[in-house]
Amino acid sequence: MSRIKSFLLSVSILTMLSSCKNAADSETMQPYNNVVVQKQSTSNTKTPSNIRISDAELRAIGCRIYINECSGKPENLAYWNPKEPFPSMGIAHFIWYSTNYDRPRGDSFSKMLIFYEENGIKLPNWIKKTNYKCPWTTRNAFYKDFNSSHMRYLRDLLKNTMHLQAKFVITRFQEKVERVFQSPKTPQMKKHVQYQFYRVAQSPMGLYALIDYVNFKGGGTMNSGNWGLLQVLENMKGVGTGKQAVIEFANSAKTVLKKRVDQSKNKSTEEKNLYGWYKRIDTYYQ
């Protein structure tokens, strides 16, 4: 990496960390605080493009996602949207299906819990006996039990393992982007998608933009909709790296999401979400 790119990357990391400063106290942002775990190095974490993510980048990206999903508030680490049939957990609001909610894919928090165990965190039996599924089957039951010992345990665990959750976000990002790289039907489009990915990833704030959007709206492959990362990259036309590449990525994301709203059967409802989506996307280059 050139000295100029290294300097710009350092600036982008400091910018992200500065924006997180008022959202969470120092205790919250410490990895594994008060949790017995064998800490593993993240200095060599790889993305599908073979770009290495440093520990500082990982922490900064995790903090930004925490602000985007939880407004930087620990109480929002366990949340059940009244419009959804399942709760959302952790810094990235990982979906957690209840024991009575039968769907083949999408339960990312159960995978997160298994990831915890793989990284040395011993989980209580009440979590494992439901096969890592959510033991609360309704939103009312979830909030009625919000101050129980089980729920306090979960919130404390999530508050004190933000760094590990960020690492899990990167792991999921790797998996989804590999599918994005393979999804275009022509060699020309595959080359185009990978080129656009690289030019964003190698720009200041670019990795944050890519990782957050995948966490936010998915990869756009398989059954994940036509408004994911794949569609955003396909829609891009520019060349070169730098802030302009990230701005183009953000504008392309807005175009793709506006198209989703225009084609939605619930257009009036979806239009209400656009402002919040656009505001989040604006953080990619600010």
Q: State whether 158 and 22 are in the same domain.
A: yes
- Count: domains in the chain: 2
Point out the domain boundary residue: 95, 130, 163: 163
Q: State whether 146 and 92 are in the same domain.
A: yes
Q: Report pLDDT digits (tens) over 152-198.
A: 999 999 999 999 999 999 999 998 999 999 999 899 999 999 999 99
96 occurs within a structural domain: yes
Which of the four pLDDT bands, split at 50, 70 and 90, describes residue 2?
Answer: very low
Q: What is the pLDDT of residue 26?
A: 32
168 occurs within a structural domain: no
Rounded to whole angstroms, how far apart are CA atoms 92 and 86?
15
Q: Which domain holds residue 204?
A: 183-282
Average confidence (pLDDT) over 255-283: 88
Rounded to whole angstroms, how far apart are CA atoms 66 and 196?
26
Q: What is the pLDDT of residue 146?
A: 95
Q: State whether 8 and 142 are in the same domain.
A: yes
155 occurs within a structural domain: yes
178 occurs within a structural domain: no
pTM, rounded to two decimals? 0.81
Q: State whether 265 and 131 are in the same domain.
A: no
Q: What is the pLDDT of residue 286?
A: 85
What average pLDDT does the chain have? 83
Residue 105 has pLDDT above 80, yes or no: no
Q: 243 Cβ partners below 8 Å, 6+ apart? A: 203, 204, 205, 285
Rounded to whole angstroms, how far apart are CA atoms 209 and 207?
5
